Structure 1
Amino acid sequence: MRTRTRIAVIGVGNEFRRDDGVGWTVLARLRERAAQRQLPQPGTVLATCDGDPGRLIGLWEGADLAVVVDAAHAHPGTPGRVHRLELDSGLMAQPPTTSSHGLGLGEAVELARVLGVLPDHLVVYAVEGADSALGTGLSPAVEDAVEPLVRAVESELDRHRETAARRPA
């Protein structure tokens, strides 16, 4: 059996729809940090995506770990609140939030499950937004969530590296 070590970190959204760009902003910060130091593991892919299920699946297919950061709508909502959802090669429970895109992450997960191409471990950070109108820049509450999100994603990568190092060869 082949050992997979690929990691995909995916920022989902639209940087021209205000808070919907939170995933792209987190990825931009991770790229800045990656330029200063090596990410936890060679083969880590940092990518942005508009949320199209086929593109999402293509980015995480074959990954040991996929971390997705996306904006979400919740009713009632608390802008800037972050939800962490986790899936280990199975069905994800329906989250209390929905993607800010027409077809959401849930549809991509279900399609990948049916096709047998889910990553071994999927972690989703869904950030409740305040403003998805046309324009750039995040609302203050969502901007305040960015740095803690970047640290949370880095922690996911560190945990994955530590877990992988303990696995028998």
Structure 2
Amino acid sequence: MQRPGRIAVIGVGNEFRRDDGVGWAVLARLSERSLPPEAHLATCDGDPGRLIGLWEGARLAVVVDAAHAHPGTPGRVHRLELDAGLLDRPPTTSSHGLGLGEAVELARVLGLLPQHLVAYAVEGADSTLGTGLSPAVADAVAPLVEAVEGEIARSAAARGPA
């Protein structure tokens, strides 16, 4: 069983499919920061079962993933929030076959949603094989790191001293 009060920060994607690696890039930067001990970083390929396992029992889960939007603006970030309810379908889809929406719905049905879920979906430009983010998506990484740190800090402040 997971520790109560845990914050799960999950980077979803594949670092070998260019912009699909944005979640992993954000987590790599976060791993260099001083985060509270209740913040746990993990990468995931987007499999709904693995996502659910990573956020199960967390008071906060923050997920960073690449997304496709039609029409799209590479590097644009969408912030989605869920508290014990249904996640509105965003105008984007995951860059994976099954995405965050399916994981959320499955977790909701199974009663395994975190207390609070925040997802950052980053519109990508290039998901071909290879490494390295496109310039627009690479430019979104530093602001995303700051945004995720803010989510963690707000959650820690709301909880109060341990």
Number of the residue aligned with 1:32? 32
Q: 1:112 aligns with which of 94, 107, 115?
A: 107
Unpaired runs of 5+ in structure 1? none
- How far apart, in 2, do the equivalents of 1:113 and 1:4 lie? 19
Number of the residue aligned with 2:132? 137
SS at match of 1:32: coil
- Alignment map for 1:128-167 (pairs within 5 Å): 128-165=123-160
Number of the residue aligned with 2:4? 4
Unpaired runs of 5+ in structure 2? none
Instruction: Give the Å deviation of 1:44.
Output: 1.5
Q: Check conservation: 2:39, 2:152, Cα contact below 8 A.
A: no
- Alignment map for 1:39-58 (pairs within 5 Å): 39-40=35-36, 42-58=37-53
Q: Check conservation: 2:48, 2:102, Cα contact below 8 A.
A: yes
Match for 2:140: what amino acid? A
- Quote the RMSD (CA, aligned, Å): 1.3
Instruction: Give the Å deviation of 1:4.
Output: 3.0
- How far apart, in 1, do the equivalents of 2:84 and 2:58 lie? 11
Number of the residue aligned with 1:61? 56
Number of the residue aligned with 2:18? 18
- How far apart, in 2, do the equivalents of 1:90 and 1:27 lie? 27
SS at match of 1:122: strand
SS at match of 1:95: coil
- Alignment map for 1:65-144 (pairs within 5 Å): 65-144=60-139
- How far apart, in 2, do the equivalents of 1:121 and 1:4 lie? 13
- Equivalent pairs counted in the alignment come to 160
Instruction: Give the Å deviation of 1:165.
Output: 1.1
| TM-score normalised by L of structure 2 | 0.96
Q: Give CA deviations for 1:69-125 in whole Å, capped at 9, x if unaligned.
A: 000000000000000000002110111100000001000000000000000000000
Q: Percent identity?
A: 81
Q: Check conservation: 2:10, 2:41, Cα contact below 8 A.
A: yes
| TM-score normalised by L of structure 1 | 0.92
- How far apart, in 1, do the equivalents of 2:132 and 2:84 lie? 35
